[in-house]
């Protein structure tokens, strides 16, 4: 068995799918840049970690069962009473997670509670990576 094929087999056996999928590209980059062995190994680990973080966020988004994905960029804070943009930005830092606090948005239908929750959940590399959040509509709790 050739060294390349054996390395690919080892990566797959160790379930390092991100590194296995990018091995050709990493080898070519290392040859062009004439990287040291330790730099190449570091690149393999960095690629694998990035792959796993991305996959975890995708799994968390799927598990949250959001009916629609919306972004904070499209949110009009002028239409919603009770929370301003500065307060929302303070919530996005997710200190409430570190303090093991719950966050509950409530109010009558149509005032943006759902959108507030969605932008909190979408905060990349913070809320999604460290926690799992689930969207539950009170309409669904009576069933």
Asked whether residue 36 falls in the same domain as residue 86, the answer is: no
pLDDT, tens digit, for every residue of 48-75? 999 998 898 888 777 777 677 766 667 6
pLDDT at 129: 47
Asked whether residue 81 falls in the same domain as residue 51, the answer is: no
Lowest mean pLDDT among 20-24, 77-81, 89-93, 98-102: 77-81
pLDDT at 105: 64
Domain boundary among 23, 45, 63: 63
Asked whether residue 55 falls in the same domain as residue 12, the answer is: yes
Asked whether residue 11 falls in the same domain as residue 39, the answer is: yes
Residue appearing with tokens 């990035």 = 50
pLDDT at 125: 41
Cα–Cα nearest to 98, from 123, 138, 73, 131: 131
Domain boundary among 44, 63, 82: 63
pLDDT, tens digit, for every residue of 94-123? 777 777 777 766 666 665 555 555 555 555
pLDDT, tens digit, for every residue of 16-40? 999 999 999 999 999 999 999 999 9
Query: How many structural domains is the chain composed of?
Result: 2
**pTM for this one?**
0.60
* Percentage above 70 pLDDT, the chain: 62
Domain of residue 79, residue span: 72-141
Collapsing DSSP states into helix, strand and coil, what is residue 9? Answer: helix
Cα end-to-end distance, the chain, whole Å: 58
Asked whether residue 53 falls in the same domain as residue 8, the answer is: yes
Percentages helix, strand, coil for the chain, rounded to the nearest 5?
A: 60, 0, 40
Domain boundary among 36, 63, 90: 63
pLDDT at 91: 74
């Amino acid at each position: 068995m050739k060294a390349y094929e054996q390395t690919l087999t080892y990566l797959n056996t160790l379930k390092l799918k991100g590194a296995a999928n990018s091995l050709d590209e990493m080898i070519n980059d290392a040859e062009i840049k004439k990287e040291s062995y330790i730099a190449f190994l570091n690149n393999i680990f960095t690629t694998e970690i990035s792959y796993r973080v991305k996959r975890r966020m995708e799994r968390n988004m799927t598990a949250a069962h959001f009916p629609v994905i919306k972004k904070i960029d499209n949110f009009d804070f002028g239409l919603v009473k009770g929370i301003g943009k500065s307060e929302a930005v303070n919530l996005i830092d997710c200190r409430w997670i570190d303090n093991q606090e719950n966050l509950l948005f409530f109010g009558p239908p149509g005032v943006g509670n759902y959108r507030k929750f969605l932008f909190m959940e979408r905060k990349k590399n913070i809320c999604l990576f460290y926690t799992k959040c689930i969207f539950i509509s009170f309409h669904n709790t009576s069933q």
